[in-house]
């Protein structure tokens, strides 16, 4: 067995010599040694809502988002509800914004339906909702809702709604409503309308180029006002019964509409299916013509498209699934997190990336942060490397913009922005209103001082290279990213002649509560790493068959200079205890006992104020612990325990950053505290499903979803990859009895199955196979 204190585990070619593990099938009486990572009950695959709470409408809209890697559609009701935040967001469809510089623009809504039942408009805001239920099945991305509705006049109707975005043909979208008259019956009309001018948080980004409803197809072609991107949307309706009549018209407001009408009889279920096709000018020059052709030529139907999409989902889950036994909540949470990552990742487009709020809401306006590389990308690197390559290529394509940012500051190389969109320019708003006092503007300093992003990107590039073995990507794209960021850090380093070292002053680390600090440990260590890694890659290229493929390859003297700067960068650390000060003077700031603030409903920044919280040791997220996670060889077990004991109690875990808890769970595992690790893990896992921070309505916490997966694989399973291969140091929390998952290493999928041994305390049994 492998005891839970992290003894020896597996190397690349199976069990390492001397490991106290017996190889063989995980179960009894089985000759198949491959772990079954797909066995689970339906409860582990479905998110359910048993009652509708209007007070939680926006959080529910986020939770029930669907997508396919090209677009995301929030879980708003087809028939609408007052104050809902309807949004379908498509990768790369940005437009100018006076307030946010640029933002993802909501495209025309493909889900909207007006339903009239015996002369009464169906809405949950009138009549009585007798039965309600909603289910998202993450196995196939199908969203379902069932309602028994009693109209204001007393008639009772059953309505069942379904929708999905195809993963097989990512331009196809389907919705269906099935209407049953429980008593009475009468005339029914289902109208599908397309608004050519959808609003994005109250702002119009569109001009209508075409709006038609003819030959059974309703269609719009719209163009963004500033960026001049076009979106073409076409849709058609079909009825399940011959008596259903389909008509089309453009209404007085210019909205194309299709109508399905029939006379309902008691007990008769009639379905109306909507097929929609959406294309953009980012893919072709005539998006509406292509959308129309997609509906007319192939005549897609619900069953065949859903089956093809489900087959694609089955292929994804075959390698992406994580099985947890003994904890139903954790099982669903990790699958939900994986689902959110998969529906946000661009499959066929390496010019876009995953925004902080994915494609699920308007929070951060669709901008890309370091969240992607540090928190989300490891999942793709280890499970879907072809998608990781796309995400990293996005940064490579935008190197010229990063060079311009560096040059504007008087530096060499490339400096990636704090917030990025389509062009790679800095799109962080200089000022934003204070949430507690909207009349007051807050200066957003991270656009000027958060210089660690380039190293975060380089770290992700390097990790992908080491895990995937993709030498060609490193030579053709990744190396240039490392070289240009190294040039920036070399030129940005400031020589302190008195101390005889290089420093970085006036910076902001991941902990945004403390801005304009000097020698932020995370920044300094990552900058030094970036310089060394760039030098390593340059020397590798010179000795490889791929020499000459990388743009901007450095000469030997520049590589030597990088190593010299890296060696002289100040890396704060107490040589006796190993304790690292987050930044100059941090230990001298006022200490606050966060336990005194239990039961609060706001962040410590909101409670103490923007001016006061930087004078304390309260952390939004712990920079030093993030550093320890990214560079596990820096600290021994005792040093790591000291760091964890110092920084975790000072972290605003409840309402600070959603990025931290999953990573802190990994470190708690590494110091042997699986109980504390579980508490931090479950906070990350509940970020959206339970809306623990009260802001899920803004969109999915993409970083928290990625950190949830990392906490299981790198924390509780203890997976670690180094130059020699990979190994496991599992620590299962109570009440888990099993973890099983796959990961990709050097082009080959590995399978891991870790089980708690009955009757031996904390002992576990782990197995691995290719």
pLDDT of residue 401: 98
**Pick from 464, 456, 388: which is nearest to 420 by CA?**
456
Q: What angle do CA 75, 81, 82 make, to 5 degrees?
A: 125
Residue 69 located in a structural domain = yes
> What is the predicted pLDDT for the residue at 31?
29
What residues have CB less than 8 Å from 219, skipping those under 6 apart? 194, 210, 211, 212, 213, 232, 233, 234, 235, 256, 288, 291, 292
Query: What is the distance between the alpha carbons of residues 219 and 198, in angstroms, rounded to a whole number?
Result: 14
Mean of pLDDT values over 630-636? 94
Domain containing 294 equals 48-316
> Given this model, what pLDDT does residue 440 score?
87
> Residue 760: its pLDDT value, please?
54
Q: Domain end: 292, 316, 340, which one?
A: 316
Q: Which of 764, 769, 690 is nearest to 20 (CA)?
A: 764
pLDDT of 379 reads: 98
What is the DSSP track for 177-195?
Answer: EEEEESSSEEEEEEEEE--
What gap in Å lies between CA 492 and CA 482, rounded to an integer? 15
512 is catalytic: yes
Task: Say whether both 414 and 294 belong to one domain.
Answer: no
Residue 670 has pLDDT above 80, yes or no: yes
- pLDDT the model gives residue 672: 93
Of 550, 583, 602, the one marking the end of a domain is 602
| CA distances (Å), origin 329, targets 44, 50, 136, 375 | 8, 17, 15, 21
Check pLDDT > 90 for residue 653.
no
Interatomic CA distance for residues 276 and 107, integer angstroms: 13
Domain with 472 in it: what CATH number? 1.50.10.10
655 pLDDT band, cuts 50/70/90, is confident
In a domain, 498, yes or no: yes
Residues 256, 131 share a domain: yes
Task: Looking at the structure, tell me whether residues 85 and 193 fall in a common domain.
Answer: yes
Mark whether 310 and 405 lie in a shared domain: no
Q: In this structure, what DSSP letter does residue 689 have?
A: H
**Alpha helix segments (H runs only) across 253-301:** 287-296
In a domain, 30, yes or no: no
Position 383 in a domain = no
Residue 695 lies in a domain: no
* pLDDT attached to residue 351: 98
Shared domain check, 215 and 70: yes
* pLDDT tens-digit map of 59-73: 999 999 999 999 999
pLDDT value at residue 758: 80
Give yes or no: residues 305 and 399 share one domain. no
Tell me what pLDDT residue 299 has.
Answer: 64
pLDDT at 761: 54
Q: Is there a single domain that holds both residue 306 and residue 419?
A: no
Least confident among 28-42, 126-140, 304-318, 430-444: 28-42
Report whether 256 contacts 250 (CB < 8 A).
Answer: yes
Specify the range with the lowest mean pLDDT, choosing from 8-22, 305-319, 376-390, 752-766.
8-22
Domain count of the chain? 2
Banded pLDDT at 743 (limits 50, 70, 90): very high
* 441 lies in some domain: yes
pLDDT tens, position by position, 333-351:
999 999 999 999 999 999 9
pTM of the model: 0.94
Q: Residue 9 pLDDT more than 60?
A: no
Is 121 a domain residue? yes
Q: For the domain that residue 118 is a member of, what is the CATH number?
A: 2.70.98.40
Decide if 335 is inside a domain: no
What average pLDDT does the chain have?
92
Among 290, 316, 342, give the residue marking a domain's end. 316
Q: Please pick, among 512, 515, 654, 767, the residue that the annotation labels catalytic.
A: 512
């Amino acid at each position: 067995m492998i005891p839970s204190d992290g003894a020896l585990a597996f190397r690349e070619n199976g069990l390492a010599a001397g490991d106290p593990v017996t190889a063989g099938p995980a179960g009894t009486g089985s000759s198949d040694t491959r772990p079954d990572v797909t066995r689970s009950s339906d409860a582990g695959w479905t998110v359910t809502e048993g009652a509708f709470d209007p007070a939680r409408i926006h959080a529910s809209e986020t939770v029930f988002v669907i997508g396919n890697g090209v677009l995301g559609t929030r879980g708003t009701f087809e028939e609408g509800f007052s104050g809902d935040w309807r949004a379908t967001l498509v990768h790369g469809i940005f437009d100018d914004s006076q307030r946010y510089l640029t933002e993802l623009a909501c495209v025309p809504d493909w889900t909207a339906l007006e339903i009239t039942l015996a002369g009464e408009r169906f809405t949950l805001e009138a009549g009585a909702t007798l039965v309600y239920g909603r289910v998202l099945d993450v196995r196939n991305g199908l969203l379902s809702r069932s309602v028994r509705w009693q109209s204001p006049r007393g008639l009772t109707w059953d309505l069942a709604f379904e929708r999905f975005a195809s993963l097989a043909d990512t331009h196809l979208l389907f919705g269906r409503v099935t209407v049953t008259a429980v008593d009475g019956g009468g005339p029914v009309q289902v109208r599908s309308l397309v608004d050519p001018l959808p609003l994005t948080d109250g702002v119009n980004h569109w001009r209508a180029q075409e709006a038609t409803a003819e030959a059974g197809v309703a269609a719009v072609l719209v163009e963004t006002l500033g960026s001049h991107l076009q979106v073409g949307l076409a849709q058609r309706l079909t009825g399940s019964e011959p008596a259903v009549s389909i008509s089309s018209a453009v209404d007085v407001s210019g909205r194309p509409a299709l109508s399905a009408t029939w006379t309902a009889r008691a007990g008769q279920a009639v379905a109306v299916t909507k097929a929609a096709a959406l294309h953009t000018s980012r893919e072709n020059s005539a998006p509406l013509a292509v959308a129309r052709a997609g509906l007319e030529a192939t005549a897609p139907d619900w069953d065949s498209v859903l089956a093809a999409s489900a087959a694609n989902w089955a292929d994804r889950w075959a390698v992406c699934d994580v099985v947890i036994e003994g904890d139903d909540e954790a099982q669903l949470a990790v699958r939900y997190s994986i689902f959110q990552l998969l529906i946000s990742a661009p499959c066929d487009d390496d010019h876009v990336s995953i925004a902080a709020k994915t494609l699920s809401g308007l929070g951060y306006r669709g901008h890309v942060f370091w969240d992607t590389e540090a928190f989300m990308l490891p999942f793709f690197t280890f499970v879907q490397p072809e998608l990781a390559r796309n995400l990293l290529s996005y940064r490579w394509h935008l190197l010229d913009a990063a060079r311009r940012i560096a040059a504007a500051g008087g530096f060499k190389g490339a400096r990636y922005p704090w917030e990025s969109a389509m062009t790679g320019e800095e799109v962080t708003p200089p000022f934003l209103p204070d949430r507690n006092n909207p009349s007051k503007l807050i200066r957003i300093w991270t656009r000027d001082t958060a210089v660690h992003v380039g190293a975060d990107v380089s770290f992700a590039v390097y990790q992908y290279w080491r895990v995937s073995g993709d030498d060609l990507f490193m030579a053709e794209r990744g190396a240039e990213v490392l070289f240009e960021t190294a040039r920036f850090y070399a030129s940005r380093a400031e020589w302190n002649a008195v101390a005889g070292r290089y420093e970085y002053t006036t910076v902001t680390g991941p902990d945004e509560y403390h801005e304009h600090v000097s020698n932020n440990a995370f920044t300094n260590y990552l900058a030094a790493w970036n310089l060394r890694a760039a030098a390593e890659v340059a020397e590798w290229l010179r000795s490889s068959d791929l020499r000459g493929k990388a743009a901007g390859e450095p000469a030997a003297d520049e590589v030597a200079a990088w190593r010299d700067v890296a060696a002289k960068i100040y890396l704060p650390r107490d040589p006796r205890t190993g304790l690292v000060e987050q930044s100059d003077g941090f230990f001298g700031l006022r200490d606050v006992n966060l336990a005194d603030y239990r039961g609060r409903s706001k962040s410590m920044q909101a409670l103490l104020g923007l001016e006061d919280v930087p004078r304390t040791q309260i952390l939004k997220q712990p920079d030093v612990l993030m550093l320890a996670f990214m560079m596990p060889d820096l600290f021994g077990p005792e040093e790591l325990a000291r760091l964890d004991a110092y920084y975790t109690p000072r972290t605003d875990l409840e309402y600070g950053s959603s990025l931290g808890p999953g990573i802190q769970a990994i470190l708690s595992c590494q110091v042997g505290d699986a109980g504390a690790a579980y508490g931090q893990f479950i906070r990350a896992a509940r970020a959206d499903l339970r809306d623990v921070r009260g802001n899920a309505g803004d969109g999915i916490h993409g970083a928290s979803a990625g950190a949830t997966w990392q906490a299981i694989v790198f924390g509780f399973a203890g997976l670690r990859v180094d130059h020699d291969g990979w190994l496991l140091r599992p620590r299962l929390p109570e009440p888990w009895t099993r973890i099983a998952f796959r990961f990709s290493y050097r082009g080959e999928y590995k399978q891991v199955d870790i089980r708690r041994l009955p009757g031996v305390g904390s002992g576990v049994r782990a197995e691995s196979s290719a």
